[in-house]
Amino acid sequence: MRQNPDIEAAELKGELLLLNNAASKFYVMNPTAAFIWERLATPTSEDELASALCSKFSDASPQQAREDVSETVKNMREYGLILDD
């Protein structure tokens, strides 16, 4: 999976905002979602994302990282923010 190239991203006051022009909606990303979004600049898998999340956030257990990635990716797909290759 990877970022949808039609989505615009901008940082505002330390938060990442994503704009889906096609849906006329914007989304504010929490730190976990922002990290996942940035990692999806190049195609990657959920397992790779979970591993990277554990490395970035030392207090995240592997199980919690997998759950967070799964939920975040599910929502990003639903909102049209990411594409599956």
Number of domains in the chain: 1
Grade residue 85 by pLDDT with cuts at 50, 70 and 90.
confident
Q: What's the rounded mean pLDDT across residues 55-68? A: 91
d(CA 5, CA 31): 21
Q: Is the pLDDT of residue 57 over 90?
A: no
Structural domain containing residue 41:
2-83
Tell me the pLDDT tens digit for each residue of 7-49: 999 998 889 999 999 999 999 999 999 999 999 999 999 999 9
Per-residue CA distances from 65 to 7, 13, 35, 38 (Å): 25, 26, 12, 16
CATH of the domain at 6: 1.10.10.1150
What pTM was computed for the model? 0.91
